[in-house]
Chains A and B, each alone.
Chain A
Amino acid sequence: MKKTYIFLFILGLILGSCGIGFAAELTASEILEKVDTVMASDSKIMTQQMTLVSSSGQERTREIQLQNKRTASKDLMLVRFLSPSDVRGTGLLMDDEDTWLYLPALGRSRRIAGHAKKGSFMGSDLSYDDMEQLGMTGFSNDFVATLLRSEVLLGTETYVLALEPQDNDSDYSKLVMWVDQERFLPRKIEYVDTSGQLLKVLHNESLREVDGRWIASAMEMQNVQEGTKTLLRVSDVEFDVAISDSIFTVRSLERGL
């Protein structure tokens, strides 16, 4: 009996040191931080096409211009619709507390309820939180990572991370992220819901380098439970541009395009 314990202890030591040795290269949180430096930005102007696909295959495509900025006190975002023509000029302004929508056909802007932010981002399969984590804040603030393994995904060497949310408020119980070992960009993220079921899968494709950082110019978020998906295609993006705070005001919103 005793021998078994000793054996297990030694085995534990060996395995443990292996783990440490591995981690000495890069720990899970280091990997995630690198991901964040690649993905997060303090300010950004981006033009993208968003296509929603319903479970029965109908599509809706809209083109939007998105500007965001992180200040010391809050995160700011301004979205303008470029097409289709019937919503062109419609604008959405968001800060941490409030959301305003400007409807050019009405000539007025209106605040919309705060809880709207809890739901999906403009009817897509991404939530506002997903959007922020992917494009602005990164994941380190919200998740604790553990390194599961290394794996080749679609011909790319990746680290596979398990991300557990830090607060209980999250929509997810776990994220599994495949991180490109060279570019530190997630190639795939699985979102697991609070009941332990796979909810959504994100794929990043068409990687390209912009201003010295890698971006995925095509993203696909698939909701496996609903059978819907959202395609995002980035046509134009600029990082770390100086955007004046006055852009993120109702008055600027109401100025339109």
Chain B
Amino acid sequence: MQFVYAKILKYPKVVIAIVVLFTIVFGVYARRVGITTDIKAFFPEDHPQVISYDEIGEKFGGADRIMVALTTADVFTVTNLRSIEQLTQEIQQIPGVTNVRSLTTIEEIAGSDWGIEVVPLIGEIPTDQQGMDLLRERVLGDEMYVGTIVSSDGTGALHVAEVDPDYDAVEVALAVQERLSSMDVAEGKLYLTGTPVLNAVLADSMQADLMKLLPVVLLLVAFVLYLYFRNFRGVILPFITVLISVIWTLGLMGLMGKQLSPLNAVMPVLLVSLGSAYGIYIIARYNDELLQGADKEKAVNQTLKSVGISVLLAGATTIAGFASNASSSITLMKDFGLFTAYGVLVALLISLTFIPAMLLLLPVPKKIATQRSNEQQGVLLTILARVAHIVTQKKRQVLMVMAAILVVALLGIPRLSTDSNFFNFFADDTGPKIAYEMVKDKFSGSESVEIVIRGDVLDPELLHAMRDFQSDLEQTGLVGHPQSIINILERVNMALNDGDPSFEILPTTRELAAQYLLLMEMSGGEMLEQFVTLDYEQARIQALVKDSSNEATTRLFSEIDRLFMEYFGDLDVEVTQTGIIALLDALASMIIDGQISSLFTALVTVFVIVLLLLRSWEGSLFSTAIVASTILINFGLMGWLGIPLDIVTVLISSIGIGVGVDYSIHIYTRYQEERQAHDPVQSVTRAIMHTGKSIVTNAGSVIAGFLILLLSSFPPFQYFGSLVTGTMFVASASALTVLPALILVRWESKEKTRKEVIQRS
């Protein structure tokens, strides 16, 4: 360490040149970083759910769907059917759209006295009222269409565009959006939704959000720095530090081909508000040294020697907190943790090398502001003195209050829910959410559950099991009318029996089923490909999910599991289910698992780091306990307030641990220092009085940084901002109250034992 410092002091220009060079290189790569909102990016590539999901796209055509809804007073008018026809054609022409299902493209299996044919549902748009009424009656009376392409009341029509798996669904969604914006429908209103659309909008608004928040947080940091130092260099050096850390981090991401995601879009904001602190400590100490009469070199030297270690310690725990996310099985969370840890490390290194080098090169400032006016200091000191008094006098009560709070928090934990639903990213009054809710209300839903059955698909026993499974699945009320090869076979049977509905049943022999499918192939029906593979070894059942909330999907998946057992348990088949909803559900459970493991890792790592640096079991144990309680309170709060653990709020614990433990470390270090000259009560009081000042300032600036997130347009970021704020408040407040109380209580009990031992001897 000493060696490094010596080098910095000797060659400041080299240090600066290296930093500038790296910044330029990383700057180039930083420009490559975009935003991805693909849910699959959250998963490791070999995750079984992702594999099944991709397989669906590959074997049965796209699993990603873009939906365009038309709402109007009555779909069944010449004008509106023409609009639907035109919209369908327009969407179909967009590259990457494999097919569009709508009232004007859907085909039906029609029986006639001479045979069967697969014909468009609407051959020609009826021009007379009678024809139109007949059409309405026919379409609205058919469960195959109601809820999937037309609403049951006939006021909404849906165009479902399937995306070619070889194309980027988000790009295709953007193309659809652009095409629609240049189109006008004669009557009614258009809504655009579906996961690719939401992802496209999400990526867009996230970028806009970042562009909005980053300048605000930079400005705020500059303002805080100015308040603190009252000179230009005090503002500019820490400011440059955080900029460099953001550039290096984004640069490394670009270099590794990583993208920002809904999860780590807050990272630049985080780095700015956390990264400035290290520079502040360095410059403040340097100013102090100058005030005490040191010359430039000596001041820098002294600063590095004395503050270096504590800055390093604070930085190390923060880095450990973020890095603990590396144990998560969620790929993006791992990325977030590691890159943010790296960013903090950069800020730390820059503060310890670049800033001292700059300080050496810059002339000594003419005037150094004494830090705050006496009056302000006075208020803060009075409060801290009061705190110290209470803590030393009523230590047991302080601990009891904390215990009571912890019990309340603990009671809130069972209420904690998880939510991995992407739709939460949209506030209720935004376009995408309105469209999503509308499609959910008028139609069966916009997302599907996809069930793949591997086995001998033509086996009548399996076909009947599939039919019973489908009808029971629909009975749960959680999904719309399921579609599969079953419906096609039943329709063919009906068509071959003069359209008699009592013949809408499955063929009874394998031969008949095989021959029906052959008949369909001969008739040019392309609908088969969506539901069965060429080799008849895999079949797909598709059902639109009515309610994609976490509770509903959890219930749906447990129902599916139960029905799997009931109908396919005894058969020689393999059944799996997938779809966006299933991916989201898998993500939710990964969030919980990841949370538990990263929480544990973070606590252990922080404990070890503090132990190594403080060389005190007591200090390390107490600091870790305080920060663990802080996290517990955070979870309790989330439980009581009904804020779900989602892909953003899940990050709070690692931040809380890494950053929050610093306050306890500062108090404990100071206490250890004071103990060399004072008794415990005096030491505690002095620690609270002196370190308390910097803790309040530091927590204040970190909290201010996180409060900026309340300006975000995404509810999860707003929750995140306020929860981190709360966590930082609790962490700093407990460091000033609970930790000293713990120290005193522990000392008293030790003292008591010691006295007893003396008495006995």
The interface of chain A, by Cβ under 8 A from chain B, is: 52-56, 58-60, 81, 84, 86-87, 90, 92, 99-101, 103-106, 108, 110-113, 115-116, 118-120, 122-123
Contact = CB atoms under 8 A, between A and B. Distances in A.
Contacts of A123: 521-522
B533 A106 contact: no
A103 B116 CA distance: 13
B524 A118 contact: yes
Contacts of B518: 81, 87, 90, 101, 103
B514 A112 contact: no
B515 A86 contact: yes
Given A54-B533, A81-B518, A110-B114, 8 more contacts: A54-B534, A60-B534, A87-B518, A106-B496, A112-B522, A113-B118, A115-B524, A122-B522
Report, nearest first, the 9 A-B pairs whose CB atoms are least far apart: A113-B117, A111-B115, A86-B514, A119-B524, A105-B511, A105-B512, A110-B115, A123-B521, A103-B515
A106 B512 contact: yes
A137 B458 CA distance: 37
A144 B514 CA distance: 42
B86 interface: no
A103 B520 CA distance: 12
Nearest to B515: A103
Contacts of A58: 59, 533-535, 537
A112 B496 CA distance: 11
B511 A116 contact: no
Given A54-B533, A58-B59, A116-B522, A104 B116 contact: no
Interface centre among B510, B512, B514 (most CB of A within 10 A): B514
Contacts of A100: 115
Interface in B493-520: 496, 507, 509-516, 518-519
A234 B515 CA distance: 23
A29 B515 CA distance: 43
A101 B535 contact: no
A116 B524 contact: yes
A54 B509 CA distance: 26
Nearest to B117: A113
Interface residues of B, number: 30
A116 B119 CA distance: 10
Contacts of B114: 110-111
Given A86-B510, A87-B511, A116-B523, A60 B116 contact: no
Contacts of A90: 515, 518
Interface string B54-93: 0000110000000000000000000000000000000000
5 contacts: A104-B511, A105-B511, A111-B114, A113-B116, A113-B117
Given A52-B534, A105-B509, A87 B514 contact: yes
A35 to B, nearest CB: 29
B534 A122 contact: no
A101 B522 contact: yes
A56 B509 CA distance: 29
Contacts of A119: 524
B515 A56 contact: no
Interface string B300-319: 00000000000000000000
A86 to B, nearest CB: 4
B496 A92 contact: no
A104 B516 CA distance: 11
A74 to B, nearest CB: 20
Contacts of B512: 103, 105-106
Nearest to A79: B522
A113 B537 CA distance: 28
A119 B518 CA distance: 14
Nearest to A103: B515
A87 B522 CA distance: 13
B22 interface: no
A239 B117 CA distance: 34
B223 interface: no
A248 B118 CA distance: 24
Contact of B536 (A60, A103, A106): A60
A113 B523 CA distance: 7
A244 B12 CA distance: 102
A87 B519 CA distance: 10
Contacts of B533: 54, 56, 58
Contact of B522 (A56, A84, A92, A118): A92
Nearest to B508: A105
Contacts of A54: 59, 533-534
Interface in B103-130: 114-119
Given A87-B514, A101-B519, A56 B496 contact: no
Nearest to A60: B534
Contacts of A115: 117, 524
Nearest to A84: B514
A112 B515 contact: no
Contacts of B116: 110, 112-113
